[in-house]
Amino acid sequence: MSRPSGQDLSGPDRPSAHTADVPAARSGAPFRRLPRLLAALCDRLPEDRIAVVEQVLDTITGPEDPLLSRFIAAQSAAGLGQQLSEIVRVWRAEMPDMTGAGLALALATSRSFPRPRPAQVAVSGPISASIPARLTSGVAVEVIRMAQTSLLIASFAAHGARDVVTEIGQAVDRGVRVDLLLEESTQASAAFAELPDHVHVWHRVGPSGVLHAKLIAADRHTALLGSANLTDRALSDNIELGVVLRDPHLVEPLVGHFRWLLAPENNVMRLA
């Protein structure tokens, strides 16, 4: 915390600045934004993407290296180029003599300390370069890819979405249990007809109401919630909004609710 100008901090409750064997206070150290920006980048990107950034940084000499400018200009994810540009700007201002390899090491250090990751925005349709959001189509595939034991997917409508269907098939191949909760009146299950028979497809019991939820949950640790159905338009062209949760404390009860819906004794969902 900064001290008001002219404030007298001497007195009986404050040791003298010349007291022997007392280490110098560290409060005068300059505040640096760069570590916080690197941590925010780790929060945003999946580990494999962070590793790519580290590899690029390892090859550059410093913040003025043209290779870094070209790498930033090539980024298509919404807001990522601006986020990287801000890191370079602060790098130049705070630690201009640090090499790219040094910054890569700092980024790897931040990545190596697991911590709860914040919710992340996912969008479809037109996006502003200044908004730190990711496209729904890419996020959906990423969440499916994270499943190791179970995958729970709910959608009102489904059509096309070849990347999603392919990724679900690969999840099945690695032994993941897949449950698809689909609205029967939209014939959504047809989009997944090529998947193996042991993929569980569920429809709602009875004529009252429809299944309108949109969810992709990997195990009980990561979930994508949003307005987008599993259709080509919803994943890419429509104006849709979603959020990715990576906090097991939030995802666990969410998945628990849908597992309750599937329990036969509750008579809410039935196997197709």
C-alpha distances in angstroms, 11 versus 14, 16, 20, 23, 24?
Answer: 5, 8, 17, 19, 18
The pLDDT tens digits for 59-102 are 999 999 999 999 999 987 767 888 999 999 999 999 999 999 99
Same domain, 189 and 256: yes
Task: Give the pTM.
Answer: 0.63
Same domain, 146 and 264: yes
Q: Give the strand pairing for 215-218 and 222-226.
A: antiparallel
Least confident of 93-97, 176-180, 189-193, 205-209: 205-209
C-alpha distances in angstroms, 193 versus 151, 160, 161, 166, 238?
Answer: 17, 11, 13, 12, 25
Q: Comparing 4 with 36, which gets the higher pLDDT?
A: 36
Same domain, 248 and 129: yes
104-127: average pLDDT: 84
Q: Are the C-beta atoms of 225 and 245 separated by less than 8 Å?
A: yes
Same domain, 210 and 78: no
The pLDDT tens digits for 206-247 are 888 899 999 999 999 999 999 999 999 999 999 999 999 988
- Is residue 25 in some structural domain? no
- Is residue 182 in some structural domain? yes
Same domain, 174 and 98: no
For the chain, percent helix, then strand, then coil, each to nearest 5?
40, 20, 40
Q: How confident is the model at residue 40 (pLDDT cuts 50, 70, 90)?
A: confident
Share of the chain above pLDDT 90, in %: 67
* Residue with tokens 């600045």, as numbered in its chain: 17
> How high is the pLDDT of residue 15?
39
Q: How many domains does the chain have?
A: 2
Question: By residue range, what is the domain housing residue 84?
Answer: 34-111
Average pLDDT, the chain: 86
Which of 111, 144, 162 marks a domain boundary? 111
> How high is the pLDDT of residue 13?
41
158-167: average pLDDT: 96
Which of 78, 111, 144 marks a domain boundary? 111
Same domain, 96 and 63: yes
> How high is the pLDDT of residue 9?
41
Same domain, 47 and 64: yes
- Is residue 4 in some structural domain? no
